[in-house]
Structures are given as structure tokens and as C-alpha cells.
Amino acid sequence: MSGQLGVDPGTGAVVEGGAAEQAEAALRNISAVLEAAGAGIGDVVKVSVYLRDIADLPAVNEVCARHFSSWKPARTTVGGLMLPKGALVEVDAIAMAP
């Protein structure tokens, strides 16, 4: 799926807080898209994480560890980017439908 920012799906605004809060919202958005397609977070095989500041990686890693607790998909992380809407984090995913 295409990249998901840490936005509130009702307003489209980037959630308040830091990279961890935005990563949490982005992964919730990914979960919602997967569920709508008949899949789930456990079907994710590859994740790409884009960060404005690579120093946010430890906080984002903690969020990813909670969402991918039983299955660790392959992951790429890139830092030092300007993201849409002034976001700190963007996450995209590849999943295999059940």
C-alpha cells in the first residue's frame, strides 16, 4: 500500500506529538486499510519507514515492535527527508493477502 502519514483519518491533520505518536497513527491507518482489504497487520511482509530525523528511530522502533510483536517483517528505514504535511513519519507496507 502507499505511504501512510500519522494523520487523523477524520480530519486528515497530522496528529499532535512527536514521531512515536505519528508512527502509532500511521500504523493504525495501515491496519485499517489492511482490514478493509480482508487482511491484517500479521500479513505484512515488508515495511518502509521514512523519517524526517533519523534520531527518532529508537522511538519509532518501539512503536513498530508493539504492532509487529509476533511477526517481524523486513524493513527499510530512511532518514533526513521532507515529508508531506510537515509530518515526521511516513510508513508504507507490502502485505500478502490471506
> Which CATH number is 14's domain given?
3.30.1330.40
In the predicted model, is pLDDT for residue 32 greater than 90? yes
In tens, the pLDDT along 68-86 reads 988 899 999 999 999 999 9
Q: Do 83 and 50 contact (CB within 8 A), yes or no?
A: yes
The C-alpha atoms of residue 78 and residue 38 are separated, in whole angstroms, by 29
The grid coordinates listed for 29 are 491507518
Query: pTM above 0.85?
Result: yes
Q: How far apart are CA 16 and CA 39, in angstroms?
A: 28
Residue 35 CB neighbours (<10 A): 11
Per-residue model confidence (pLDDT) at position 69: 84
pLDDT of residue 60: 97
Cell numbers found for residue 88: 515526521
Asked if pLDDT for residue 98 goes beyond 90, the answer is no
Average pLDDT, the chain: 95
* Total domain count, the chain: 1
**Given this model, what pLDDT does residue 20 score?**
98
Domain that residue 26 falls in: 4-95
